[in-house]
Amino acid sequence: MFSRRNLIILLVVLSLSGAGGAYYWQQRLAAARAAREAIRQEVVARGTILSLVSATGSLTPEAQVNLYFGVASPLPVREVNVVIGQVVKKGDVLAQLDTGDLELAVKQAEQALGSAQLALAQLKAPPRPEDIAVAEANLKLAKAQVYAASVGNSSETVQAAYLNLRLAQNALDQTHRTMDDLVSRGRYAEKKALEAQEDQQVEAARIADLKYHEAQQPPNPNRAAAQMAGVEQAQATLDKLKNGPSADDVKIAELQVSQAEAALELTQNNLKDAKIIVLFDGVVAAVNLRVGEPAASGLPPVTLADVSRFHLDISVDEVDVARVAPGQPVTVTLDALPDLFFSGRVDRIAPTASANAGVVSYAVRITLAATDALVRAGMTATADIVVDEARDVVLVPNWAIRRDRDTGQAFVGILKNGQIEDVQVELGLRNDQFSEVKSGVNEGDVVAVNTAREQLRFFGGGQ
């Protein structure tokens, strides 16, 4: 016999068993009903499918250059006309050195060139009659000096030299007396005006004294031989005037002009290179200058970026790189501007691979055709490279395709008369949403899957 307590326990167990069985069958019936109702389906259509290789990277300006002063001189900076982030145009002056010394060098070079050109012109010019007359007189004087040194001067020559000396001394004495008289009368301005005349007369008296003593010298064969050099020099000067300059002399003078022209061009270039001038439109990326200080060594004075064009460097896995080729179209999206799409092309592929944490990849550069004003250097970008394309082909959503694990063959469920029939298909291109079907499915067919199949299996139904 059961006690009251045992009877209660038995009734509870039976009650629970009945409830569990009822729950099981309720769920099974619900799953079967869902299997009939939960059919995901889609009509097969034709379209275009793209096969993509995707990778991420960051945008880099197509052109970013460091700008330097062209003159290698520790001159202080006079002007800095830009700041970081400033938009500049081709031809703008970004900075300038203190050019005082450079401007002086240009003026000196201009003067040197003028002197060289004048010397060349004088060398090529025909001689003036007065120049020839002076040269002939110098030759006669040189010969007379040689003769005097050889045989001595005549008494007439000595007397003439003495008279010249007395005249020079008398003129100087008269000037001294006049100056003393002016001082005694306080006429200092007039006395000052005579000082230049006094200097000339002192020099004339000195030369006359030398000539007088020279005229008194006895014959000296050694001195005569030494003075023959003067005769030869005077003769050469006269011959050059009459015959014109030699080809070598002209060539040397022309070379001096060329050297002066080169020196002037160098100084002009140094003056021009004391400015940093923009070569293309862009944005200032860096400025390393301070007014009053020389440009810092080891740092570019100004860095300029061309933000009208960008490129994107990405790493493509070795599995995909064989499908990538220069010239392929690319669609680029930016994390910061998700609603904008930019077109581009594969520019080049690195010939050698790089490995990171065991992953082998190849660097690929993509050039963007055009960008928006909102685009900034360094933005994270995703590139979708179109490696293959098929147009006007039968497309099936990927969720409708299953593969046999043993054979690898692909199947698609076709909905016919409310029933799903598996059909073997041949696949072509594939992306993350659709696959190309080359055979087995036609346009207009309805592909379907029973989304409740797994639920039925959980509750014991299905195979």
pLDDT (tens digit, 9 = 90+) per residue, 15-26? 444 444 554 455
* 236 has pLDDT over 80: yes
Asked if the model's pLDDT at residue 150 lies above 60, the reply is yes
Question: DSSP letters along 307-350, please?
Answer: EEEEEEEEEEEHHHHTT--TT-EEEEEESS-TT-EEEEEEEEE-
Mean model confidence pLDDT for the chain: 84
pLDDT band at 276 (very low <50, low <70, confident <90, very high): very high
Distance CA 330, CA 52 (A): 9
Q: How far apart (Å, rounded) are the C-alpha atoms in residues 125 and 131? A: 12
pLDDT at 458: 38
pLDDT of residue 11: 38
- Dump the DSSP string for 207-244: HHHHHHHHHTPPP-HHHHHHHHHHHHHHHHHHHHHHH-
Given pLDDT bands bounded at 50, 70 and 90, which one contains residue 212? confident
Q: Residues 175-191: pLDDT tens digits?
A: 999 999 989 988 888 88
CATH (residue range 47-59+304-458): 2.40.30.170
Is 69-97+274-300 a domain of CATH 2.40.50.100? yes
Between 249 and 34, residue with greater pLDDT: 249
117 pLDDT tier (thresholds 50, 70, 90): very high
Q: How far is residue 226 CA from its own chain's centroid?
A: 67
Task: Examine the pLDDT at 454 and tell me if it is beyond 90.
Answer: no
117-121, 212-216, 356-360: range with lowest mean pLDDT: 212-216
CA–CA distance, 414 with 396 (Å, rounded to integer)? 11
Regarding beta strands 302-317 and 45-67, do their DSSP bridges make them parallel or antiparallel, or are they unpaired? Answer: antiparallel
Residues 6+ apart with CB under 8 A from 2: 10
Q: For position 49, what pLDDT does the model report?
A: 93
**Percent of the residues in the chain that have a pLDDT greater than 70, as a whole number:** 86
What's the average model confidence in pLDDT over 326-346? 93
Q: Where are the alpha helices (DSSP H) in 244-280?
A: 247-272
Quick one: tokens of 79? 């002007």
Better-scored residue on pLDDT, 107 or 187:
107
Tally Cβ neighbours within 10 Å of residue 453. Answer: 16
- Model confidence, pTM: 0.49
Q: Specify the range with the lowest mean pLDDT, choosing from 10-24, 255-269, 417-431.
A: 10-24
- What integer pLDDT is reported at residue 138 of this predicted model? 82
Higher local confidence (pLDDT), 350 or 156: 350
Strand segments, DSSP code E, in 335-461 are: 341-349, 354-356, 359-368, 380-397, 401-403, 410-416, 419-430, 434-439, 446-450
Task: Please state which of the ranges 77-81, 139-143, 223-227, 246-250 shows the lowest mean pLDDT.
Answer: 223-227
Average pLDDT over residues 38-49: 91
